[in-house]
Structure 1
Amino acid sequence: MPEVAMLMAAGLGKRMRPLTATRPKPLVEVGGKALLDHALDRVRAAGVKRVVVNVHYLADALEAHLRRRAGDLDIVISDERDELLETGGGLAHARPLLGDAPFFVINTDNLWIDGPIDALRLLGQRWDDAAMDALLLVVPLARANCHRGRGDFHMDSAGHITRRRPGRVAPFVYTGVQLVSPRLLVDPPAGPFSTNIFWDRAIAAGRAYGVVHQGLWFDVGTPQAIPAAEAMLADG
C-alpha cells in the first residue's frame, strides 16, 4: 500500500459559491464534517503516513485547519499562493514532496463511502507497477450520485481506459481518486495545466487503467449537491 497521498485543495471553488465566499471549498461541510477531513480520515484509515496538500485560495485558513490534524498524519504543504497551477501543474509543483514510489491523488470535492473493499486498498491491490502509470477509481455513470455529466471513460476487460468520444455517453465517471507513479509526471509543461495532459500520454501508451469503486460516491462540487448527498447518507 502506498504511504503517500496528495490532496488537491487549491482551487477557487467557483461552482460552490456562495459557500466559498469566506472559506475554501475543502472546508465546506457535508454531514457535519469538512470535505478535507473526510479525505484525511480515508487516507489515514488506509495506512497513509504522509499527506501533501496544495493550497492557494484562502490558504491561511486551510493551513490553520491542517495544523489541528498534524497529530494524525505527517502533513506537508505545497504552496501555490503565487500562482494557481491547476491539477497537473499542482502535481508537478509538488513532485519533490511526493517521493519516488506510487502515491494516491485525491480531489477534495468528492465524497465516497467504502463498499466491501476499502477504495484505497482496492487501488493498492490492483496496482501493477510494470504495466501502469495511472490507475483511476471510477464509478458507473448510473451510480454517480449528484453528478450531471455524461461520463468520462470507457474501459475494456483488462482495465485499460479510453476517453469518452465527443457527442457520446461513456459508462464510467472518474471519482477524483487515483493511484499514480512518479513516471506519470515526467516532462511537465510550464505553468498551469490539467492532469489530462498526463492522462492522455498514459492512455496513448496503454498505461492508464481503471478500477470500479464498490461503494457509494457523491459529486459534491455545488451547494445543491450537499443536501442531496446528506439525505442519501441519512437514509443509509
Structure 2
Amino acid sequence: MPEVFGGILCAGFGTRLKPITEVVPKPLVPFLNTPIVAYPLQNLRSAGIERVGLNLHHLADLVPPVVDKLALVLGVKPVYSREWEILGTGGGIRGIWEALGEPEGTLAVLNGDSVSDIELAPHIEAHHASGADVTLVIRAKTEGQPGRVFVGQGKGIAGIRDYRRPGASGLTEYEFTGVHILSHRAISRLELEPSDVVDELYGPMVQADEAIGFSVAEGGFWAALDNPRLIFDATKAVLDAPEVFGLAPLGEAIGDKLHILRQEDISGESKVSGPLFFGMNVKTEAKAFVGPYVVMDGVEVASGAKVKNAILYGMGRIEGEWEDCLAVAGKVVSIPS
C-alpha cells in the first residue's frame, strides 16, 4: 500500500471573517477555544499519518509557532509551503506535495477552514482499493452547508459545481467534507501556479469521463467554518449536544450545560445560563449576565455587562452588551441572523 502523507490548506485570506483575519490567520481562529488547524492535524494523526504539509500565505509567520507546538503534542512532523502569491487549492496542493519532497504516495488533503471527527483511515483504504487517482469524501446534504457534489447512477462522481459527466442522470447532491485523497499521478497534473483544484483537475476529469471516486462518510461531525454564521451555528450545535463532536474539548458540564474550566473565577452574584463554555481565563463580576450560547476565553465580564449568543476570545475586560457577535483580539464581526 502506498505511503500516506497529509496536507492542510491554510493559505487563504479569510475574507468572510474580516476584520478578525486582519490580525489572526484563519487557521488560528478558535473553534471551541482551540485553533481550527488543530482539528485537521488531529484527524490526520488519528489515521496514522505523521508527515503533514501546510501551505501558508496570509499572516504566514504566525502559523508555524502554533502548529509546531501542536505537532509536538500530537506526534506530527509538519513542513510548510510558503506561497509568494496566493495559489488557491490547485497550486496549494501542488506546493504541499513539493514541500513534502514529491513523494510517490498518497496525499490526504483537508481544508483548513472546516472541522470534523470523521475517521479518515477507512476512506483512505477505500481510495486505495478503488484504484482511482482521486477520491473525494462526501456526506449527505444538510441544511445550511454547501453541497454541489453530485453522484448519479454510474460509478464515481458525476458532477461537481457546474461540471457534469457526459450522460449523467438521476443526480443526488452531496456535501464535500473538504477531504481530498489524491495519488501522486493526479497531483503531478497540477501546476505550481494560482488555480482552483476543481477547475484545474476535478472538473475537466469529470467532463472527460475520467474516474473520480467518492467515499461516503456516515455519521460523524463536519462543519465548514468560513464565515461567522457557520462558526456560530457549529458552536451552538456542539453546545446543545457535545456528544455529536467527538473532538469537542468541553470537559464535564456542571449544572445545565455549563462547561466552566475555572469555577472559582465566576462570581456567585453573576448570572450564567447554559449552554456555554468558559476557558481557563474567564472572570465574571457580580451582576454580570452571561448566556446562553456563549464561548469565551481571555475575557473579564464587568458588572452589569450582558453577553448572549456570542463567541469572545482575547477581548480583555468588557462592558455593555455583547450579542450576536464573534470577537477575537479586539476585532469584532456581527453574526447575521
Give TM-score scaled by structure 2 length: 0.62
Alignment of 1:1-236 (within 5 A): 2-71=3-72, 72-80=75-83, 82-96=84-98, 97=100, 98-114=102-118, 118=119, 120-128=120-128, 131-142=131-142, 146-147=144-145, 149=146, 151-156=147-152, 159-164=155-160, 171-189=173-191, 191-196=193-198, 197-203=200-206, 204-214=208-218, 215-236=220-241
Distance 1:172 1:63 in 2: 34
Distance 1:195 1:38, change over 3 A: same
Q: Distance in 2 between matches of 1:173 and 1:67?
A: 31
Structure 1's unaligned 5+ residue stretches are none
Higher RCO (CA-CA < 8 Å; seq separation 6+): 1
Structure 2 residue identity aligned to 1:235? D
- Whichever residue aligns with residue 75 of structure 1, its letter is P
Q: Could you say what secondary structure the match of 2:70 adopts?
A: coil
How many positions carry a matched residue from both structures? Answer: 226
> CA–CA distance in 2 between the matches of 1:18 and 1:170?
37
Partner Cα separation in structure 1 for residue 69 and residue 222 of structure 2: 27
Give percent identity, aligned residues only.
25
RMSD: 2.3
Deviation at 1:234, TM superposition (A): 1.8
Q: Which has the larger radius of gyration?
A: 2
Give the AA of the match of 1:66. V
Amino acid corresponding to residue 33 of structure 1 in structure 2: T
Separation in 2 of the partners of 1:56 and 1:132?
31
Deviations 1:22-68 (A, max 9, x none): 01001011111111001111111111010001100001100111221
- 1: CA distance between counterparts of 2:62 and 2:111? 18
Contact 2:134 2:212 in 1 (8 A): yes
Hey, which of these two has a bigger chunk of strand by percent?
Answer: 2
Instruction: Structure 2: state its 5+ residue gaps.
Output: 163-170, 242-337
CA contact (8 A) 1:133 1:202 kept: no
User: What secondary structure does 1:128 align onto?
Assistant: helix
Q: Distance in 2 between matches of 1:157 and 1:226?
A: 35
Structure number with the higher helix fraction is: 1
Asked if the contact 2:132–2:212 (Cα under 8 Å) also holds between the matched residues in 1, the reply is: yes
> 1:161: how far off?
0.4
- Match of 2:290? none
Distance in 2 (CA, whole Å) between partners of 1:99 and 1:216 is: 31
**Structure-1-length-normalised TM-score:** 0.87
